[in-house]
Amino acid sequence: MARIVDNSRMTLSSYWDIFCRVIDNHGDLGVSWRLARQLADRGIPVRLWLDDPSALRWMAPGGHPGVQVQNWTPSFNWSQMVPGQVLVETFGCEVPEAYVELFVSPLGASQRAWINLEYLSAQSYVERSHGLPSPVLTGAGQGLTKYFFYPGFTARTGGLLREPDLMARQARFSRDTWLSRLGIEITPGERLVSLFCYEPDRLPQVLAQLASEPSHLLVTAGRAASWVRSCPTPKGLKVSFLPYLQQDDFDHLLWSCDLNFVRGEDSLVRALWAARPFVWQIYPQQDNAHHAKLTAFLDWMDAPESLRDLHRIWNALDEGPLPALDLTAWGKATQRACRRLLEQTDLTTQLLEFVNRITK
Structure confidence at residue 1 (pLDDT): 30
- CA–CA gap between residue 210 and residue 307 (Å, rounded): 15
Structure confidence at residue 26 (pLDDT): 84
The CATH number assigned to the domain with range 13-160+345-358 reads: 3.40.50
User: Which among 251, 265, 309, 346 is annotated as catalytic?
Assistant: 265
Backbone angles phi, psi at 74, to 5 degrees: -60, -30
Intrachain domains 13-160+345-358 and 166-342 with the same fold: yes
User: Which among 28, 89, 251, 346 is annotated as catalytic?
Assistant: 28
Question: Is there a catalytic annotation at residue 190?
Answer: no
Backbone angle region of 313, left / alpha / beta, with phi > 0 → left and psi within -120 to 50 → alpha: alpha
How do residues 190-214 score in pLDDT, each as one tens digit? 999 999 999 999 999 999 999 999 9
The answer to whether 322 touches 205, Cβ cutoff 8 Å, is yes
DSSP 317: S
DSSP 302: T
Provide the pairing of β-strand 133-135 with 145-149. Answer: antiparallel
- CA–CA gap between residue 230 and residue 73 (Å, rounded): 36
Structure confidence at residue 100 (pLDDT): 92
Structure confidence at residue 339 (pLDDT): 98
End-to-end CA distance of the chain: 28
- CA–CA gap between residue 140 and residue 320 (Å, rounded): 53
User: Could you tell me where the beta strands, DSSP code E, fall in 110-152?
Assistant: 113-117, 133-135, 145-149
Alpha helix segments (H runs only) across 196-256: 203-211, 223-230, 247-256
| Count, residues in the chain | 360
Question: Is there a catalytic annotation at residue 185?
Answer: no
Structure confidence at residue 110 (pLDDT): 67
Query: Environment class of residue 305 by beta-carbon count within 10 Å: exposed (0-12), middle (13-18) or buried (19+)?
Result: exposed
The answer to whether 25 touches 197, Cβ cutoff 8 Å, is no
- CA–CA gap between residue 169 and residue 218 (Å, rounded): 22
Structure confidence at residue 36 (pLDDT): 98
Gyration radius of the chain's alpha carbons: 22
How do residues 241-275 score in pLDDT, each as one tens digit? 999 999 999 999 999 999 999 999 999 999 999 99
| All structural domains of the chain with their residue ranges | 13-160+345-358, 166-342
Q: Is CATH 3.40.47.10 what the domain over 166-342 is classified as, yes or no?
A: no
Sheet holding 84-90, edge to edge: 67-71, 46-50, 13-20, 84-90, 113-117, 145-149, 133-135
Local mean pLDDT, 10-residue blocks, the chain (360 residues): 34 85 86 97 96 94 95 89 94 92 73 94 97 94 94 98 98 97 94 97 97 97 97 95 97 98 96 98 87 97 98 94 97 98 98 93
